[in-house]
Amino acid sequence: MDKSRSCQTCGKHFNTVNAYSNHLKSKKHREAAAREDVQQVNAKNEQNRKDATSSSGHSGEMGATGGVAEEHQLQKNIGTA
């Protein structure tokens, strides 16, 4: 399979460069890519919290606004912020 015309984010393959290019510009792809970005940031933040908790002895619990930055980044990525 030609990786240059495959979207790993959406799990789709395209037969032409033009179709692939159009897909990358589509709302569905941009939203999926933004969700993927947020998931990666959340995973990194969780790992950082675990690392900080294990080295400081704190509980590592997050306040009520813990996911606000991630949600704002998602909105920014899909153009709704």
Evaluate if residue 67 carries a pLDDT over 90.
no
Mean pLDDT in residue range 20-29? 97
Query: Which pLDDT belongs to residue 57?
Result: 61
Q: Which residue has the tokens 């240059």?
A: 4
Evaluate if residue 33 carries a pLDDT over 80.
yes
Q: How many domains does the chain have?
A: 1
Task: Look over the chain and give the mean of its residue pLDDT values, rounded to a whole number.
Answer: 83
Cα 81 to Cα 60: distance, rounded to the nearest angstrom? 29
What's the domain range around 41? 3-78
